[in-house]
A and B are shown apart, each in its own frame.
Chain A
Amino acid sequence: MTKPILDKEAVENLLPQKFPFVMVDKMFSFDETSLVAGLKIKSENIFLENGVFLEAGLIEHMAQSVALHTGYVFFLKQEKAPIGYIGSIKQINIKKLPNINDEIQSSITIIQEFAGITLVDIVTTLNNEEIANGQMKTVLAK
């Protein structure tokens, strides 16, 4: 597996969410319009049920991967990142749910940014198998 460029502690400093609600613990790559983030699903994860990582957790992981992109952009500008929200979920397809101790990755690609609203394409994989994809609109608080 590719070595992350940001570890758990660095990622948590870039996200507004705090334990136990942080659903991203690695950043593997970043550029102006894309990012790859990861999460190891540990036993204490609040979205686990009978050892299965629930849909809500998967969607939160996808959204926080987008938030990490925003957080890192503002970090590079040496500015405080604004709070972001999921504005809408345009479409989400979940093909498979991961289990405890699995490591998932989400690749986000920014399709468009307009008036503080970002339309993002997201693909989540487990061991290089696509398990979810979708599009979200995120909104930055003004």
Chain B
Amino acid sequence: MNKQEIIEKINGFLVDEFEVDNDDIEPNANLKDTLGLDSLDYVDLVVSVESNFGVKLVEVDFVGIATFQNFYDLIETKLKAKTA
């Protein structure tokens, strides 16, 4: 799966799960604010990532994740680690 495919897959489940408009998802937009995430919502994000990519996120993974681009990079890194 290349980076663009990862991004499209992520955006797809974010639109479905968090009812955000696809046009509001931009690489430099703030992930938390755009999705309206509260502390309870992160578990849904973790479930979505695990079901879509088969990788499990833990708390420390979210340190430094501010934008969608950060999040895409995180998932790409996790996927590379999984297949390494």
- Is A141 part of the contact surface with B, judged by Cβ < 8 Å? no
Interface size on A, residues (CB 8 A): 12
Interface pairs (27), CB distance under 8 Å: A87-B40, A88-B40, A111-B47, A112-B43, A112-B46, A112-B47, A112-B50, A113-B43, A114-B42, A114-B46, A114-B57, A114-B58, A114-B59, A115-B39, A115-B42, A115-B43, A115-B59, A117-B39, A117-B40, A117-B42, A117-B43, A119-B43, A119-B44, A119-B47, A137-B40, A137-B43, A139-B40
C-alpha spacing A138/B49, complex, angstroms: 20
Contact with B along A101-130 (1 / 0, CB 8 A): 000000000011111011100000000000
C-alpha spacing A90/B83, complex, angstroms: 33
Query: Closest CB of chain B to A32's CB: distance in Å?
Result: 15
Which chain B residue has the least Cβ–Cβ distance from A113? Answer: B43
**Cβ–Cβ < 8 Å partners of A88 in chain B:** 40
**Cβ–Cβ < 8 Å partners of A115 in chain B:** 39, 42-43, 59
For the complex of A and B, the 8 pairs showing the least CB-CB separation, nearest first, are: A114-B43, A114-B46, A117-B43, A112-B47, A87-B40, A119-B43, A115-B59, A137-B40
Q: Give the interface of A toward B (CB within 8 A).
A: 87-88, 111-115, 117-119, 137, 139
**Cβ–Cβ < 8 Å partners of B42 in chain A:** 114-115, 117
Query: Closest CB of chain A to B42's CB: distance in Å?
Result: 6
C-alpha spacing A124/B20, complex, angstroms: 33
Which chain A residue has the least Cβ–Cβ distance from B45? Answer: A114
- The residue in A87, A113, A117 that gathers the most chain B C-beta atoms within 10 A of its C-beta is A117
C-alpha spacing A137/B59, complex, angstroms: 17
Query: Closest CB of chain B to A87's CB: distance in Å?
Result: 5
**Cβ–Cβ < 8 Å partners of A111 in chain B:** 47
C-alpha spacing A101/B43, complex, angstroms: 37
Which chain B residue has the least Cβ–Cβ distance from A117? Answer: B43
